[in-house]
Amino acid sequence: MSEVKGSKKPIRDDASASKKKAEPPRAEDKIEAIEDGGDSDVTHGAEVAPEEKMHSLNAEVEELADQNALLLDTLKRLKADFENYRKRMLKEQTRILETAEGELVKKLLPAIDNLERALESSLVDGASGLGDGVAMVREQMLDVLLKEGLEIIDPQGEPFDPEHHEAMMVVETTECPEDTVIDVVQKGYRFNGVLLRPARVRVSCLAKS
């Protein structure tokens, strides 16, 4: 640094002056400029960023809501399908059980028939003691089966029903209307509404004049 005669102020070198000019602005200067409204671009950017972020968050919320609705709908359908499957399985199990029970009862019908024949025979022969024992066994067996769903078809005097009766013979008569069961040869049975055996009957018809 050199001094000029007659002046007390030092004269700076050109290199030092240019270096001073080339220094970048300080952060403090930028902040002051923003507060004074001098840097409009920075101020505008600070206002837009939150709006864009909010828009992005709203889009994510809507997407998650759609996914949640889809999952909920799928869950409802799966629940309904499972409930229908459970009902079908329960119905099928009930049907199988009733079929098995019906087959068992069907196998017992000949034993009931034999007890009834033995009872009728004892009444004819006058063996009242034996008849009472047979009647007791028959009643006990029927009582158990009736409670389990057995129904006796004994259509004496009723109109002939081909769905539940089997006509063994047609008898001409004027004592009752035509197609009336006038005699039951063998009783029929239903189990839980399912026909196990039709009643074997004799049916009336009008006598020829």
User: Locate tokens 């952060």: which residue?
Assistant: 27
- Scanning the chain, the segments in alpha helix (DSSP H) are 14-22, 27-35, 40-125, 128-147
Class of the CATH domain delimited by 151-209: mainly beta
The model's pTM: 0.52
Those residues with Cβ within 8 angstroms of residue 164's Cβ, 6 or more apart along the chain or in another chain: 153, 155, 188, 190, 195, 198, 199
Burial class, 165, CB count within 10 angstroms (exposed 0-12 / middle 13-18 / buried 19+): buried
Q: What is the pLDDT of residues 68-123, one digit of tens each?
A: 989 998 888 888 888 888 888 888 877 777 777 888 888 888 888 888 888 887 77
Q: Which residues contact 118 (CB under 8 A, 6 or more apart)?
A: 130, 134
Q: Is the pLDDT of residue 13 over 70?
A: no
pLDDT in tens, 19-31: 455 565 555 555 5
Domain ranges within the chain, ordered by starting residue: 151-209
